[in-house]
Amino acid sequence: MKQSLDIDTIAAVATAPGRGGIGIVRLSGPSAREIAETISHRTLEPRLATFAHFKADDKAIIDSGIVLFFPSPASFTGEDVVELQGHGGPIVLNAVLNRCLALGARQARPGEFSERAFLNDKLDLVQAEAIADLIDAQTQTAARQAQASLQGEFSTAINTLSQGLLALRIYVEAAIDFPEEEIDFLAEGKVTKQLTDLCHETRTLYENAHHGAIIRSGATVVLAGKPNAGKSSLINRMAGNAIAIVTDIPGTTRDIVREHVEIGGVALRLTDTAGLRVTEDTIEAEGVRRAHQAIANADLTLHIIDDNDNAPGSPIETSSLVIHVYNKIDISGRPPGLVHDTQQPSVAISTKTDAGYADFEKLLLATLGIHGSDETQFSARERHLVALNNALATLTTALRQFEASGAGELLAEDLRLANEQLGEITGKVTTEQLLGEIFSSFCIGK
């Protein structure tokens, strides 16, 4: 069991800033019960809601409300935890908090309650991060996936994979330790098959985590192309609102237009840009420069092309994903839907008639890596993807080397390393720097 380095009692306002009907001051640590009983002048029983007046040192009433006491170890943090639930005004909440601090508590750091829950083995690191993801969820899908991670779905998948690596490592090391056996256990094919299966499982888990990471953080999508290709019409259709001016005059959009939308449960940060062309107009030229800058920072670029334009322009240069969107097919006569005769993902639509738009949305999500139902998925972060990718690279190298040399010692070491890389995800392998980076981004009071 991991133990927190801090054994002092911490306190913080646990509800969101601003005014509300109810506000909560949370305490955690060895003196939590004593401080709460001093403030409330009541003897607290475990998990029994107790009405009390919260009093200052001179017995003046600061507020009135409910006190709840959760004794160690059956609490969120694994320590004694008390919640003082009063009125949700910032002045009164700060007064209650200051009273707790005056009685010996310390102001909690951002995320310190969740950090103590992790250190006291109440949560693993994935579950702790899922709390912040649930709070920050931008869509219902993101909230469901964060809840899945909080309930342990991602952690279970990691632990199952880790157990498979450990079992194979034990088998390999046993074969190394007993070379006098007549059967060459490493050469009989079992190890190669199991290692191949583990590579496949790791790759599948990475793909699922990538899906969860996109759902969690959303994606930046930039609409780009020549003037009058229909960029503003498309962003208006995606937003369901006329946020960009649409005219037949080339160069109408000169500055960046941004909007947040949700498609298929994914939060998208849309950016409409100035038409890409050479111009002597100073203001429009600045808009074109900003358009190229937005493209460079995009997760996905939608290259909008007028399907009636005989000179649709040069391909957009970017390291991000690109979809070609052939617009105005109500004029050109091209059939709506996916276009299969191009190397780039492409779709034909009409923003005027809506033809092909459903196929456009499906292609957009598929290009971002979103396939099928999200119900069995979980939230994930960039650091999880890095660790899974590192583990997959280690296992892939291990498989190639083992097939070439059959060296069990090297394989056992690679399996150990891959297991450590997976352990970074759940927190079995951690550093103080990693914990500081993760929990410092949490809300105060969580």
- Nearest-CA neighbor of 28 among 50, 46, 44, 6? 6
d(C-alpha 137, C-alpha 144), whole Å: 9
pLDDT above 50 (res 183)? no
Question: How large is the average pLDDT for residues 89-112?
Answer: 96
Question: How large is the average pLDDT for residues 237-259?
Answer: 61
Q: Between 229 and 29, where is the model more confident?
A: 29
> Looking at residue 252, what is its pLDDT?
46
d(C-alpha 227, C-alpha 214), whole Å: 30
> Looking at residue 310, what is its pLDDT?
83
Q: Which H/E stretch holds residue 109?
A: none
Instruction: Count CB neighbours of 311 within 10 A.
Output: 7
Residue 307, φ and ψ in degrees, nearest 5: -65, -10
> Looking at residue 185, what is its pLDDT?
60
Residue 26, φ and ψ in degrees, nearest 5: -110, 140
> Looking at residue 253, what is its pLDDT?
46
Question: How large is the average pLDDT for residues 204-227?
Answer: 90
Beta strands at 61-70 and 50-55: parallel, antiparallel or unpaired:
antiparallel
pLDDT interval class at 251 (50, 70, 90): very low
Residues 6+ apart with CB under 8 A from 362: none
pLDDT interval class at 377 (50, 70, 90): confident
> Looking at residue 1, what is its pLDDT?
43
Residue 378: half-sphere exposure toward Cβ, Cα within 13 Å: 23
> Looking at residue 437, what is its pLDDT?
81
Q: Alpha carbon 102 to chain centroid distance?
A: 38
d(C-alpha 268, C-alpha 142), whole Å: 12
Fold category of 135-427 in CATH: Rossmann fold (3.40.50)
Tokens (6 digits) for 313: 């322009």
d(C-alpha 252, C-alpha 239), whole Å: 19
Tokens (6 digits) for 131: 């709390």
> Looking at residue 430, what is its pLDDT?
75
d(C-alpha 194, C-alpha 357), whole Å: 44
Percent of the chain scored above 70 by pLDDT? 89
> Looking at residue 309, what is its pLDDT?
86
The neighbouring-strand residues paired with 322 are: 301
| pTM attached to this predicted model | 0.79
Where does 45-188 show beta strands of DSSP type E?
A: 50-55, 61-70, 81-88, 106-107
pLDDT above 60 (res 2)? no
pLDDT above 70 (res 250)? no
pLDDT above 70 (res 182)? no
Could you read off the pLDDT of 412-438 as tens digits, one per residue? Answer: 999 999 999 999 999 988 778 878 888
Percent of the chain scored above 90 by pLDDT? 61
pLDDT above 60 (res 365)? yes
pLDDT above 70 (res 232)? yes
Residues 6+ apart with CB under 8 A from 9: 27, 28, 29, 30, 31, 32, 35, 104, 105, 106
Tokens (6 digits) for 144: 């469901």
d(C-alpha 221, C-alpha 267), whole Å: 10
Residues of the chain with CATH 3.40.50.300: 135-427
pLDDT above 70 (res 179)? no
Range name among 45-49, 275-279, 351-355, 386-390 with the lowest pLDDT average: 275-279
pLDDT above 60 (res 373)? no
Residues of the chain with CATH 3.30.1360.120: 10-124
Residue with tokens 């780009």: 224
CA 102-103-109 angle, to 5 degrees, is 70
Per the CB < 8 A criterion, the answer to whether 413 and 78 are in contact is: no
pLDDT above 70 (res 244)? no
Could you read off the pLDDT of 133-168 as tens digits, one per residue? Answer: 999 898 888 999 999 999 999 999 999 999 999 999
Average pLDDT, the chain: 87
Tokens (6 digits) for 169: 């490592």
Per the CB < 8 A criterion, the answer to whether 290 and 273 are in contact is: yes
Residues 6+ apart with CB under 8 A from 334: 307, 326, 348
d(C-alpha 113, C-alpha 108), whole Å: 8
Q: CATH number of the domain at 10-124, please?
A: 3.30.1360.120
Per the CB < 8 A criterion, the answer to whether 296 and 247 are in contact is: no
Tokens (6 digits) for 21: 């009907």
pLDDT above 60 (res 95)? yes
Beta strands at 219-225 and 266-272: parallel, antiparallel or unpaired:
parallel
- Nearest-CA neighbor of 13 among 96, 128, 115, 117? 96
> Looking at residue 281, what is its pLDDT?
65
